[in-house]
Amino acid sequence: MNQNLTIERIADDNLHAVWASCTEIVSSMAYPSFFCSGDWLKASAENLCSADELFILLVRRDGCVRAVLPLVRKRNALGGRDLRFLGTDFYPDPVGLISSLSDRAACAKALQDYLIEVPGWDRFFLDWVLEDELVDWKLPGKPISVAPFKVLPLSFADLLGEFKQKKRYNLRSMVRKFLDARGELVTSSDANTHNVFLEALFTLHRKRATERAIESSIEDPRVQMFHRRLVKETEKVRFYGLSLDHQLVAVIYGFEFENRFFYYQVAHDPDFGDLSPGSVLLFLVIEDCCSRGVMEFNFLQGDESYKGIWTDESRILYRCVLKGGTWRSRLLDAVEQANGFRKIALGWMGRGT
């Protein structure tokens, strides 16, 4: 095995120690992500789809854990199995091999060599990885999303100082209008209030989706069960809300990890749209993060216009695929290529009309 590395697949009854290893190693990653922590992965493992199967790999050297690759085997369209990073059903980013930067290249190579010899899978998808990790996997990467972020100064006034005067004025006026309506910023401090904020988030998200006639991404009972479990078990969760007359009209749900705030979800009551509760809450949350010395605000994937108010920086998130060499992988690859050619052809036909 490469550089005296050994790889083992972990049985389901041995996972407690694995989650502890993930949380220990993640702080040494090139980008320490909450979504590679044991808390996130444990909750994900306990909320699999019925047809999914855990596939957790550990890389050791001299008996010490050097990397964890937490995967799940999922059925594909041809009845075979694809490998995906555990927890990606719930839209985290960034994710990747849980390993220190110094160990990552050797561990990625050893894992590829191991997987190629293991039957029972067709394709290995590693979604939402950062560009620097692709170098270590030595796999072609396809950009699939962007994740805006803002490196926070120590002073919120310095952050606002980066904006033009009119933009600063508009933001402050928006916040003042909400506060003048007897609104206030509220936070969650314990398990009981965490639950209150989470249920309010579900309710507000549903109400907003109904008002816009769209499907709520949080409406799925499995998704809600996952977040209830996660919020109960992690100490990294952060809830902020806006209250009007003792009623929550906006909620931000995120995680504070390794001095970064991971802005996971927001919901607000459309009945109070004239007060811009979502935008006001985001302003106040960023202000609070600055005041507490949080070094980065990660908006997570998506290029929604409201994120552009705060930053023009973003990380590109990639997908890389390792193909297992099975007939299913070859056929699925051929179908994807054919679909790609079809889109190109339709695009050229559209230009010609």
pLDDT digits (tens, 9 = 90+) for 192-231: 999 999 999 999 999 988 888 888 878 899 999 999 999 9
Looking at the predicted structure, is the pLDDT value of residue 136 above 70? yes
Residue 301 domain flag: no
Would you state the pLDDT for residue 212?
Answer: 82
Residues 118 and 202 in one domain: no
DSSP calls for 154-221: S-HHHHHTTS-HHHHHHHHHHHHHHHHTTEEEEE--SHHHHHHHHHHHHHHHHHHHHHHT---TT-SH
Distance of alpha carbon 299 from alpha carbon 282, whole angstroms: 11
Residue 285 domain flag: yes
- Which pLDDT tens digit goes with each residue over 141-166? 999 999 999 999 999 999 999 999 99
Distance of alpha carbon 320 from alpha carbon 137, whole angstroms: 9
Residues 158 and 130 in one domain: no
Residues 60 and 173 in one domain: no
Residues 81 and 157 in one domain: no
Looking at the predicted structure, is the pLDDT value of residue 352 above 90? no
Q: How many CA atoms lie within 13 A of 319 on its CB side?
A: 13
Residue 309 domain flag: no
Residues 223 and 341 in one domain: no
Contact yes or no for 61/2 (Cβ under 8 A): no
Distance of alpha carbon 332 from alpha carbon 348, whole angstroms: 25
Q: Which helix (H) or strand (E) holds 123?
A: strand 123-129
- Which pLDDT tens digit goes with each residue over 244-261? 988 999 999 999 999 999
Return the CATH number at 65.
Answer: 3.40.630.30
Q: How many CB atoms lie within 10 A of CB 121?
A: 22
What would the mean pLDDT of 89-105 be, rounded to a whole number?
96
Residue range(s) defining the domain that contains residue 171: 153-294
Would you state the pLDDT for residue 189?
Answer: 87
Looking at the predicted structure, is the pLDDT value of residue 285 above 90? yes
What would the mean pLDDT of 10-37 be, rounded to a whole number?
94
Residues 343 and 252 in one domain: no
- Which pLDDT tens digit goes with each residue over 300-332? 999 999 999 999 999 999 999 999 989 999 999
| Token pair belonging to 135 | 């170098």
Would you state the pLDDT for residue 1?
Answer: 47
Residues 207 and 92 in one domain: no
Query: Higher model confidence: residue 3 or residue 290?
Result: 290
Number of domain units in the chain: 2
Helix axes 38-45, 15-26, angle to 10 degrees: 150
Looking at the predicted structure, is the pLDDT value of residue 15 above 50? yes
Whole-Å CA distances, 323 to 102, 108, 116, 326, 331: 26, 15, 9, 8, 11
Would you state the pLDDT for residue 25?
Answer: 97
Predicted structure pTM score: 0.93
Would you state the pLDDT for residue 152?
Answer: 98
Residue 306 domain flag: no
Would you state the pLDDT for residue 14?
Answer: 85
Burial environment of residue 221 by CB neighbours within 10 A (0 to 12, 13 to 18, 19 or more): exposed
Would you state the pLDDT for residue 101?
Answer: 96
- Which pLDDT tens digit goes with each residue over 27-63? 999 999 999 999 999 999 999 999 999 999 999 999 9
Residues 134 and 170 in one domain: no
Contact yes or no for 314/147 (Cβ under 8 A): yes
Distance of alpha carbon 32 from alpha carbon 83, whole angstroms: 23
| Token pair belonging to 333 | 């690859």
- Which pLDDT tens digit goes with each residue over 101-134? 999 999 999 999 999 999 999 999 999 999 999 9
Q: List, in sequence order, the alpha helices (H) in 27-82.
A: 38-45
Share of residues in the chain with pLDDT > 90 (%)? 86
